[in-house]
Amino acid sequence: MSELTQSLQIAVTRYPGTMAELARRTAIDRSTLYKIINGQRTPRQEQLERLAEALELNDEQKDTLLLQYKQRGRSTDPRIRTELHKLLTTACTVQESIRHEGVAPNTAFSEISCTDRYVEGPRAVGALAGALIARHRRADSAFCAGS
């Protein structure tokens, strides 16, 4: 089951209304909606955006769904994608803190859970991000070569 399908299933289970109501609100045929939720069909991007609106997801949840939609089927190792996403989120947090406050909080660095070592400092975060991106690209290349 894809990450996108899992996320949609979780969001739909939290939805207080019926599937018929959700289908009406999203202008998606009910049988198509069931197929999307069960992973039998991939939604088009505009359908996914309407679903996110109807499910009243916050901006972070919407962004996560769209990222999962764009990343579906790209890498053979979803752990690398998850690590990369966490690291890049932390790097953005650090960058914003430095821009607004002039310093990066240590808490941002301690949130990097994708490595077994402590990473501190914007350069170290950047170096680790570069290494993860390289691993991600190699995994994609190996996947494409094997298909």
Does residue 144 register a pLDDT over 60?
Answer: no
pTM of the predicted model as reported, rounded to 2 decimal places = 0.51
pLDDT tens-digit map of 77-104: 667 667 777 777 777 776 676 667 766 5
**CA distances, 46 to each of 27, 43, 53, 67, 143 (Å):** 11, 8, 11, 14, 28
DSSP string of 41-92? Answer: SPPPHHHHHHHHHHTT--HHHHHHHHHHHHHTT--S-HHHHHHHHHHHHHHH
Neighbouring CB atoms inside 10 A of 27's CB total: 10
Both tokens of residue 146? 């094997």
Contacts of 69 (CB under 8 A, 6+ apart): 4, 42, 43, 45, 48
Q: Which residue has better confidence, 49 or 84?
A: 49
Q: Return d(Cα 45, Cα 40) in angstroms, integer.
A: 16
Does residue 146 register a pLDDT over 50?
Answer: no
